[in-house]
Amino acid sequence: MRARRRGRSIARAALVACAIATLGARTVDGRRARASGRASDGSMEFTIELAQRYEGDVTRARAVIKGPETDVRLVVHELGGMGCERARVGGVYDPDEARAAGGSAVGDVSARAKVPVRSSASGTTNAFVIRDLPLMGRRSVVGRTLVVWRGGDDGHTGGTTPLACGRIEADGDEGVVNAQATLGTALSRISGVVTMMQAADDPTADTWVTVQLVNRAQADAAPERFRWGIYSGSVGVGSSCSKVGAVFNPFDKDLCAADVDRDDVLAESCPVGQLSARQSEVFSQKILQFTDGNLPLSGDVSVVGKSFVVLEQNGDEFVKILCSDISLAKGSTGNSRIMVAKVSTLAQFGMLTLLLLSFLAALRYYSNAKGTQRGNFARVNEDFDDIPLTTASPFTLGDDNVGFVSKASSLFRGISSKQNAHTHSS
């Protein structure tokens, strides 16, 4: 008995140790990300792997670059998923505006790592550790574009065309939830598109937001500045902002001041929908991308179904000028997509059931009609069997002694020929 109890105790201790080890492993893993790309002419390809144990930790990088023997420079640019042309990747990612003060931006990877990175025909592996290349939080580089330029780590980039580029994506995500909002129309003074992406099944994960506003009346004037946010109501039919309600605030947080240093504002300390206060204002004629840690696209407090609102300053107030419902976009996976798929499947099942019942009803009607038709033909055959065959010459109505015309007429009127014959004879 004691041996059995001792065995159970050892088993429980082993389970606890395994649980602690598993939790520790998850903590140490932190976040991993990678980017890969290939030159359009096939002359170069690369893969870079990044790992960070926790927010604020150093980032470990390993890059394999295969191509001509040359020094290259790794740079993170502010836009991701827009293409590899220089105009589409945006400027060097510099959330702290360090370049304006003569420093190095977050995106100046090679310049800050001070490690030579080379390309070779066999694929050289370049490994280094770099500070302040965040994979988590508001300043995360995940979702942005890593570009391989010709040049070294001296801060100078050779050429005007990237050698290769790729979007930095988080590892371990089995799918993503994509949401979007379309602002204004082709006739609006200001219009735009907003896209949001978050790892599926994890509403607490970072959400990547892209905002692109266009002012058709602006031409080459200075970009206009707008506030933006997510409101609790739905726009519904049309684009009126009258029904959007208040800022989406499911956790009843106090509003964050709009004039504070955004670096000191935590995403979770503001209402979910108050984006301008914790990110930045948005501009017309410019594409902006943000990483937000409190913008769920799935779960009980999802922003999907709420409204995206753009506000313009009018004196001392900000008024709503553009509003649009946030909806799921194509390419979503995970729970949000599964929910949509279930609805779609039920709808399809209902349609198929309706079609099947309609088919069976039509088949039954056709069968009944066929049976009735057979009965009519049978009666017709019986009636015509009663008509005596004769070789007499054509006759007139006055010669209708045998009631042939009456019988034939009664057949077409649906009356029994036998009854007509009886009536005629009487």
**pLDDT (tens digit, 9 = 90+) per residue, 284-320?**
888 999 999 999 999 999 999 999 999 999 998 999 9
Give the best-scoring range by mean pLDDT among 40-49, 170-179, 325-334. Answer: 40-49
How confident is the model over 138-190, as pLDDT tens digits?
899 999 999 999 876 555 555 667 899 999 998 865 688 999 999 998 788 88
pLDDT of residue 158: 57
pLDDT of residue 423: 45
pLDDT of residue 408: 45
Same fold, 32-170 and 176-332: yes
Q: Is the pLDDT of residue 122 over 80?
A: yes
Hey, is 256 helix, strand or coil?
A: coil
Q: Across residues 37-64, what is the average pLDDT?
A: 94
pLDDT of residue 372: 55
Q: What percent of the chain has pLDDT over 70?
A: 67
Give the separation between CA 222 and CA 225, rounded to whole angstroms.
Answer: 9
Averaged pLDDT score across all residues of the chain:
78
| CB-based burial, 94-125: b 16+ in 10 Å, e otherwise | bbeebeeeeebbbbbbbbbbebebebeeeebe
pLDDT of residue 344: 41
pLDDT of residue 201: 82
Q: Is the pLDDT of residue 411 over 70?
A: no
pLDDT of residue 66: 95
Q: Which residue has the higher pLDDT, 252 or 258?
A: 252
Could you tell me how far CA 291 lies from the centroid of its own chain?
17
Q: Which residue has the higher pLDDT, 263 or 423?
A: 263
Out of 131-135, 258-262, 278-282, 373-377, least confident range = 373-377
DSSP 8-class letter at 272: T
Q: Is residue 172 a contact partner of residue 145, using CB atoms and an 8 Å limit?
A: no
Query: Which structure tokens are listed for 314?
Result: 């009018």
| Domain definitions of the chain by residue range | 32-170, 176-332, 339-425
State the DSSP H helix or E strand holding residue 91, giving kind and residue range, or none if neither. Answer: none
Out of 100-114, 139-153, 273-287, 359-373, least confident range = 359-373
In 21-133 the beta strands, taken as DSSP E runs, fall at 31-38, 45-52, 59-66, 70-77, 117-119, 124-130
Give the separation between CA 140 and CA 106, rounded to whole angstroms.
Answer: 9
Res. 15 pLDDT band, cuts 50 70 90: very low
Q: Which CATH architecture has domain 32-170?
A: Sandwich (2.60)
pLDDT of residue 292: 93
Would you call 200 exposed, middle or buried from its count of C-beta atoms within 10 A (0-12, 13-18, 19+)? buried
Identify which of 310, 301, 150, 200 has the alpha carbon closest to the alpha carbon of residue 244. 310
Q: Does domain 176-332 have CATH number 2.60.40.200?
A: yes
Taking the CA atoms of residue 109, residue 112, residue 116 and residue 119 in that order, the dihedral angle to the nearest 10 degrees is: 10
Hey, is 300 helix, strand or coil?
A: coil
Q: Using only C-alpha atoms, what is the Rg of the chain? A: 38
Res. 360 pLDDT band, cuts 50 70 90: confident
Out of 40-44, 239-243, 312-316, 367-371, least confident range = 367-371
Residues near 234 by beta carbon (within 8 Å), at least 6 away in sequence: 243, 244, 305, 306, 307, 325
Identify which of 31, 30, 66 has the alpha carbon closest to the alpha carbon of residue 47. 66
Rounded to 5 degrees, φ, ψ at 362 are -65, -40
Q: Is the pLDDT of residue 278 over 80?
A: yes
Hey, is 148 helix, strand or coil?
A: strand
Q: Is residue 176 a contact partner of residue 318, using CB atoms and an 8 Å limit?
A: no
Query: Which structure tokens are listed for 98?
Result: 């360090």
